[in-house]
Structure 1
Amino acid sequence: MGRWLIPAVIVLELALLATGVIDLGTGVQIVLVIELLLFVLVLVQARAAWATYRDARADGDDEVSAAGTALDAVLPAPAAAVFKQDLLLWRALFLAVRRKKDASADEAAIAYGKDVRLTMWLVLIADGVLLVVVHAALPWPTARTVMLVLGVLGVLWLAGFVATLYVYPHCVSPRRLRLRFASFYDISIPTSLIKSARIEKKSRGMRRSAEVVGDNLVMEVSSSTNVIVELSETHSVKLRRAEHPITTIHWYADEPAQAVELVRSFIGRPNDSASMGV
């Protein structure tokens, strides 16, 4: 209930004031009482979020994954998804400025989406030019300020998305094969379950960048995949809050031959990182 109570009360307050059901004076008094109660609820929710975060970190999650788990625990699903996306976008910009990738020391990074990156760079440049042109062309100071703020936010969002395509690569290690697309999908499969890997280009034209078709996990980039990984047994992956059993993974790499070679190099290799607590 706490997940929905805070946004519901805020919306109700605004609706009552906007429709004239309550006057401003009465509204202020009611709002003060309600906001005090909401403040207490926020403190309770914050404490619950912190406890969830600590538990997730204790279970081995990194900071971002633990923060996402905490947001899921205290916010409605749509709000949590928005906050997590913003968190990942800002983190991507931070990592890009530092020229770092989100990969552990024992993980080999595998790039994907070079065509998407080129397209998004062109869009980002075009939006930047449009922002300057609109700001110079508008004769009204207020409109210029509003459009400038919205334009800068839009450019920053695009820059964050471009950054995610660089700093959130696919990764493979003795522990896992981690497949991602920007900040939207992040799916891990234990390397110990991988039976084989090969190059095979396919195009299904999926509606989303990650889908489960039968017992196949399909992660397309630019409507195609070029690497197939087969598992030795059925493994369940979580996708859009549902568990799906899979035995085969179709995914995309910029350099498929190199990706297949990397995956094969970890097949059958003992997971030394487990003994080190990684």
Structure 2
Amino acid sequence: MTARELVRRAVAFELGTWRSLWRWVRRRPDVPAGADAFPYASAAAPVMWTFIVLSAVEIPLVDWLLPWPSLRVAVAVLGVYGLLWMVGMLAGQRVHPHTVDAAGLRVRSGWTVDVRVPWEEIAAARVRRRSVEGSRTVVVAEEGERRAVSVAVVASTQVDVELRTPLVLPLARTGGRPVSELRLAADDPAALVRRLRTGIADHAAATAGGDAR
């Protein structure tokens, strides 16, 4: 990866943090009209709030300990920036839920993961709780000739989405290789699976009706 690409990604990440915070403050989640939203952030929220509270306590404590006024100001500015940045990270998960609409499923993790899967590519959905190795959000697993990609929260997923045929997804960790299954976290996996199964059935009926005509 070139230096220019690294800078571009860093800027995009920074902008995403502040946009998410702005949306959260204004209570305007990124959910298109007509789409059903399915949150996934509840498992990560306690950990993130712990870091936020500790950072908030640290700011006045460090200010009290440092004897140099100019350094206190600089450290306070950095502390407030870091605090808002962490709140923005939490906001990103809150305002970018998974969505399901007439086009299909949209899987997200904050503003950094955004994968759209149309109905014609979805074969089945089921509730299945899995642990994911490591701390990364996106993890690719090879299972024989099959490849599954997990979009995890706190190293776990709760919903398996089986694809009709291996599909190349816009996720860097897949390396452009097609995957057969998409696994994702959801606060209410049963509700998400019910909605997906309804959408699969509706799409199959619509397709059959179109073929009949």
User: Which residue identity is paired with 1:146?
Assistant: A
Q: 2:160 aligns with which of 225, 228, 237?
A: 228
The alignment status of 1:248 with 2:153, answered yes or no, reads: no
1:212 is displaced (CA, Å) by 2.4
CA distance in 2, matches of 1:246, 1:234: 5
2:209 aligns with none
CA distance in 2, matches of 1:204, 1:149: 37
User: Which residue identity is paired with 2:158?
Assistant: N
Higher strand share: 2
The alignment status of 1:183 with 2:114, answered yes or no, reads: no
1:244 alignment partner, SS class: coil
* Structure 2 residues without counterparts, runs of 5 or longer: 207-213
CA distance in 1, matches of 2:196, 2:28: 22
| RMSD of aligned Cα (Å) | 2.0
Q: 2:72 aligns with which of 118, 137, 144?
A: 144
Structure 1 residues 212-234: Cα deviation after superposition (integer angstroms, max 9, x where no partner): 22321111211111111111222
CA distance in 2, matches of 1:176, 1:81: 28
Structure number with larger C-alpha Rg:
1
Structure 1 residues 28-48: Cα deviation after superposition (integer angstroms, max 9, x where no partner): xxxxxxxxxxxxxxxxxxxxx
1:82 is displaced (CA, Å) by 0.5
Q: 1:209 aligns with which of 137, 140, 163?
A: 137
Structure 1 residues 32-72: Cα deviation after superposition (integer angstroms, max 9, x where no partner): xxxxxxxxxxxxxxxxxxxxxxxxxxxxxxxxxxxxxxxxx
1:237 aligns with 169
User: Which residue identity is paired with 2:169?
Assistant: V
CA 1:206/1:175 → structure 2, altered by over 3 Å: closer, same or farther?
farther
- Asked whether the 8 Å contact 2:132–2:139 carries over to 1, the reply is no
CA distance in 2, matches of 1:90, 1:269: 38
CA distance in 2, matches of 1:90, 1:235: 32
- Asked whether the 8 Å contact 2:29–2:95 carries over to 1, the reply is yes
1:120 alignment partner, SS class: helix
Identity %: 31
1:80 aligns with 8
2:126 aligns with 198
The alignment status of 1:264 with 2:192, answered yes or no, reads: no
Higher helix share: 1
Structure with bigger RCO (C-alpha 8 Å, 6+ apart): 2
User: Which residue identity is paired with 2:56?
Assistant: G
User: Which residue identity is paired with 1:219?
Assistant: V
User: Which residue identity is paired with 2:89?
Assistant: F
Aligned residue-pair number: 199
Q: TM-score, normalised by structure 1?
A: 0.67
- Asked whether the 8 Å contact 1:236–1:246 carries over to 2, the reply is yes
2:210 aligns with none
1:207 is displaced (CA, Å) by 4.3
The alignment status of 1:114 with 2:114, answered yes or no, reads: no
1:191 is displaced (CA, Å) by 2.2
Q: TM-score, normalised by structure 2?
A: 0.86
CA distance in 1, matches of 2:163, 2:31: 23
User: Which residue identity is paired with 1:246?
Assistant: V
The alignment status of 1:219 with 2:151, answered yes or no, reads: yes
